Amino acid sequence: MTDQKNSEKTKIIIKKTSDSGKKPDGGIVSYIISVLIIFIVLSSIYSYFSNNSKEADNVPISQLATDIKSGIVTSIVVRGDTLDLVYKDGVKKTSKKETNEALLQTLVNYSVTKEQVGAIKVDIKNESGLSYWFFNLSPIIFPILFILIFIWFLTRQVRGAGMQALTFGQSKARMIDPNDKSQKVTFKDVAGCKEAKEELGEIVDFLKNPRKFLDIGARIPKGILLMGPAGTGKTLLARAVAGESNVTFFSVSGSEFVEMFVGVGAARVRDMFAMAKKNSPAIIFVDEIDAVGRVRGVGAGGGNDEREQTLNQILVEMDGFEPNEKVIVMSATNRPDVLDPALLRPGRFDRRVTLDLPDRRDREEILQVHSKEKPFAEDVNLQVIAERTPGFSGADLYSLMNEGAILAARENRTTVAQYDLIRSIEKVMLGPERKSHILSKKEKEIAAYHEAGHAVLASLLPYADPVHKISIIARGHAAGYVLKLPLEDTKMQSKKEFLDDIAVSLGGYVTEKMLFDDLTTGPSSDLQVSTALARDMVTKYGMSDMLGPVALESQTGKIIFGRGVEEKEFSEKVAADIDAEVSRIMREAHDKAHKVITENRLLLDAVAKRLIEKEAIERAEFETILVAHGITPKQKLDIEHQV
Ligand code: ADP
Ligand code: MG
Ligand code: ZN
């Protein structure tokens, strides 16, 4: 009973919100159309009448007099000053007489006799008809009408803007009706994220069946914070919770609260909560909450006050409603570290759900979810794709599937083949191939040795990830690349791995210097990445023996314990020590890389030569080169890689 009532109410309100939501843009279009229609109708009427009068020949009155005298005119219709003439041979003509003078008098003035006039049928029509007025006034009316329409149109627009100013404080939340099947997302559409789904299942249960929880005195969390890197499905999951529990879903992005005017955000928050309460049970979803929920009292620049007020209002509203109001606030962020601690207090967003980048099995499931409606060729093996995409987020995998389908369609095939998906991996990872970027012979040689340097180190250093593919075809920003794949998905990295990674990054730099006794701009990004890694080792992970177990930089580099830290928290001496340690790590990595490459010069030459020949080497081929030089390739994954 109550449920039905509620849903009826919901429907009515939905109608209202969607109407007022549509007005601005839908309205302007209809204004333009109506103005156009009016204009077209008026101008066609005008041209109809003016054409009518032009159809017949116009004869001067003197000619008419002559014609009457020669007796070839049969009838005259007088219409004001206009004379419609009919001749004996049936020809119709018009003429004009002087205003305020009778026709007879005029004709007599042209020495037409009364008898001659008497032989003609003269008909006088009083011109009071609409057409008369219209025809005579149209030159005045049209411009005036046009100006009026123009003014009307302008005022409508201005009034629209004024209305917008009045509705400023209304929340911009989009509402998704639980009965709208086209927008419905359920847990089935979200692959992987098992723990998150379990955790949220409880919320779904509560929204579906609140009595069960309330009767036993259980307090259901008011706020749930979804945290995780971009593209891991936070927004999707929030919608799935609403879809599963069949409640109204209000979705708003944190940045939408913030406008130019202070106080608007707070008003919008009030409005949104009021709306949600009216439609309870409901979920309010604040996406990218870090836009308003940043630590208060730090940072410079405008809009800060506004953010604080908005955040305060959210906190006030969340404190203000009771558990039995059946409104749950969900929010998502990929920067939980910058959130204000007040948001995370018990009673607010105290339930936190973390979404991680998907592991191999989850990636396969996500690929499966997005392979619906895509016809696959027989050779498609999503397991292999999942294996080759460590570090991909759900959004990346979605775009991979899409790119694959686009590739197949561009080549006029009706099914998506494995090869399309394999190619899409690199496209999503590094950007499109730049085929037009043609290297000179010398450049190609340098690029080949550079990439071969990375590849040789990656295969010989014990803690580096093995090579999957080497290419000197430019892609995105990279002139060439070595794809490495970890043997397994790991969440933790060790100091030894970091050191080997840095050495591998320096492989290009070392080979270029060694072989060509010169350096190009090629290794610049390698240097940036590896130096940043070395610095993190020293300042974040306590991996420097000299400085010992201290974190000298917070995760964000700016905020520690919710406090903004503008100044360095360490002395100048420590800063100098950090720099010294970073350069020591880099130098040692360089020496290690130099040594390994010098010792394996033959292997380096072989790989580089093959690269110059073929431009890209896949794993299998690379491993035969390794074996030919007496090196055992690193342990393969249990599943055979096959393209
Ligand atoms: P976020 O909000 O975490 O940045 P989204 O929820 O907007 O990420 O995800 C973007 C897109 O990526 C989704 O629309 C969906 O197509 C895809 N996606 C992400 N994660 C998953 C997942 N676990 N299962 C299925 N699709 C996913
Ligand atoms: Mg999102
Ligand atoms: Zn490089």
Least confident of 427-436, 527-536, 561-570: 561-570
Give me the DSSP letters along 146-201.
Answer: HHHHHHHHHHHHHHHHHHHHHTTTS---EEE-TT-GGG---GGGS-S-HHHHHHHH
Mean pLDDT for the stretch of residues 90-110? 80
pLDDT at 28: 64
Q: What are phi and psi of 340, to 5 degrees?
A: -65, 135
Residue whose CA is at the smallest distance from ligand 1 atom 18: 394
Most confident of 27-31, 387-391, 618-622: 618-622
The DSSP 8-state label assigned to residue 509 in this structure reads H
Tell whether the torsion through CA atoms of 488, 493, 496 and 498 is positive or negative: positive
| Cβ count within 10 A of residue 217 | 7
Q: Kindly give the distance from the C-alpha atom of residue 466 to the centroid of ligand 1, in angstroms, as a whole number.
A: 29
Q: Whose CA is nearest to atom 15 of ligand 1?
A: 395
* Contact present, 642 and 384 (Cβ < 8 Å): yes
Distance CA 621, CA 615 (A): 13
Higher local confidence (pLDDT), 516 or 43: 516
**Contact in structure between 467 and 622 (CB atoms under 8 Å):** yes
- Out of 1-10, 37-46, 445-454, 553-562, least confident range: 1-10
With beta carbons less than 8 A apart as the criterion, state whether 46 and 94 touch: no
Q: In the structure, what pLDDT confidence band is assigned to residue 41 with cuts at 50, 70 and 90?
A: confident
Q: What is the pLDDT of residues 528-563, one digit of tens each?
A: 999 999 999 998 888 988 888 888 764 444 444 444
If you average pLDDT over residues 586-599, what whole number do you get? Answer: 96
**Each residue's pLDDT tens digit, 481-516:** 888 887 766 668 889 999 999 999 999 999 999 999
Q: For residue 510, give both structure tokens.
A: 């070392």
For residue 474, how far is its CA from the centre of ligand 3 (angstroms)? 12
Tokens 């509402």 — which residue?
175
- Would you state the pLDDT for residue 346? 79
Cis peptide before 281 (omega within 30 of 0): yes
pLDDT at residue 259 greater than cutoff 70: no
Q: Which atom of ligand 1 is nearest to the CA of 230?
A: 4
Ligand 1 pocket check for 233: Cβ under 6 Å: yes
pLDDT of residue 164: 53
What's the gap in Å between 235 CA and the centre of ligand 2?
4
CA-nearest of 469, 452, 465 to 604 is 452
* Mean pLDDT score of the chain: 80
Q: Average pLDDT in the 9-32 region?
A: 46
Report the percent of the chain where pLDDT is more than 70: 82
What is the C-alpha separation between 172 and 18, in angstroms, rounded?
A: 11
How many residues are given for the chain? 643
Q: Given ligand 1 and candidates 188, 236, 392, which is best to mutate, with the most ligand atoms within 8 Å of its CB?
A: 236
What local confidence, expressed as pLDDT, does residue 58 receive? Answer: 82
Q: What is the pLDDT of residue 332?
A: 93
Indicate the helix (H) or strand (E) that contains 560: strand 559-560
Output phi, psi for 262, to 5 deg: -70, 140
pLDDT bracket for residue 218 (50, 70, 90): confident
DSSP 376-397: BPTT--HHHHHHT-TT--HHHH
Does the CB atom of residue 231 touch ligand 1 within 6 A? yes
Q: Supply the DSSP symbol for 562.
A: T
Q: What is the predicted pLDDT for the residue at 560?
A: 45
Is pLDDT at 98 greater than 60 in this prediction?
A: yes
Q: Which CATH number fits domain 56-127: 3.30.450.40, 3.30.720.210, 3.40.50.1100, 2.30.40.10?
A: 3.30.720.210
* Separation between Cα atoms, residue 172 and residue 116, nearest integer Å: 84
Spell out the long-range contacts of 469-472 with Cβ–Cβ below 8 A and sequence spacing 24 or more: 469/426, 469/616, 469/617, 469/618, 469/619, 469/622, 470/607, 470/611, 470/616, 470/617, 470/622, 471/426, 471/615, 471/616, 471/617, 472/439, 472/444, 472/447, 472/448, 472/611, 472/612, 472/615, 472/616
Q: What is the CATH number of domain 360-430?
A: 1.10.8.60
315-354 core/surface letters (b: 16 or more CB in 10 A; e: else): bebbeebebebbbbbbbbbbbbebbbebbbeeebbebebe
366 C-beta closer than 6 A to ligand 1:
yes
- Positions marked catalytic: 451
DSSP 8-state assignment for residue 569:
S
Residue 641 has pLDDT above 60, yes or no: no
Q: What is the DSSP letter of 232?
A: S
Helices (H) then strands (E): counts for the chain: 22, 16
Where do we find the tokens 């570090």? 391
Q: Is 226 in the pocket of ligand 1 (CB under 6 A)?
A: no
CATH architecture of 4-17+437-641: Up-down Bundle (1.20)
Burial of 71: CB neighbours in 10 Å, binned 0-12, 13-18, 19+: exposed
For the chain, what is the radius of gyration of the CA atoms? 40
Superfamily of domain 174-354: P-loop containing nucleotide triphosphate hydrolases (3.40.50.300)
* SS3 (DSSP) at 35: helix
Tell me how far the alpha carbon of residue 33 lies from the centroid of ligand 1, in angstroms.
40
Contacting residues for 151 by C-beta, under 8 A, at least 6 apart: none
Give the contacts of 423 (CB within 8 A, at least 6 positions apart): 404, 407
Rounded to an integer, the average pLDDT of 432-436 is 76
For the whole model, what pTM was predicted?
0.66
Nearest to 274 by CA among 313, 239, 219, 237: 313
With a 6 A CB cut-off, is 484 part of the ligand 1 pocket?
Answer: no
Residue 464 CA to residue 462 CA, distance in Å, equals: 6
119 token code pair? 């032989």
314-318, 410-414, 503-507: which has the minimum mean pLDDT?
Answer: 314-318
Mean pLDDT of 515-525: 87
Q: What angle do CA 246, 251, 253 make, to 5 degrees?
A: 160
Q: Hey, is 29 helix, strand or coil?
A: helix
Over the stretch 373-408, which tens digit does the pLDDT of each residue have?
A: 889 998 999 998 998 888 899 999 999 999 999 999
Asked whether 230 lines ligand 1 (CB < 6 A), one says yes
637: confidence class by pLDDT, cuts 50, 70, 90: very low
Q: Is 178 in the pocket of ligand 1 (CB under 6 A)?
A: no
Out of 244-258, 587-601, 620-634, pick the least confident: 244-258
* Nearest-angstrom CA–CA distance, 402 and 410: 12
Q: How confident is the model at residue 584 (pLDDT cuts 50, 70, 90)?
A: very high
Q: How large is the average pLDDT for residues 145-151?
A: 88
The pLDDT score that the predictor gives to residue 335 is 86
C-beta neighbour count of 109 within 10 angstroms: 12
Boundaries of every domain in the chain: 4-17+437-641, 56-127, 174-354, 360-430
Residue 3 has pLDDT above 80, yes or no: no
Cβ atoms within 10 A of the Cβ of 602, count? 11
Gap between the Cα atoms of 188 and 195, Å rounded: 14
In ligand 1, the atom with minimum distance to the C-alpha of 355 is 3
Token readout for 605 is: 């030459």
Nearest CA to ligand 1 atom 27: 394
CA of 185 to the centre of ligand 2 (A): 15
**Distance (Å, whole) CA 539 – CA 575:** 10
In a 10 Å sphere around its CB, with 0-12 CB exposed, 13-18 middle and 19+ buried, how is residue 503 labelled? buried
Please state the φ and ψ torsions of residue 251, each to the nearest 5 degrees: -120, 135
SS3 91: coil
Q: In the structure, what pLDDT confidence band is assigned to residue 452 with cuts at 50, 70 and 90? A: very high
Whether the pLDDT of residue 293 is over 70: the answer is yes
Write out the residues surrounding ion ligand 2, Cβ under 5 A: 235
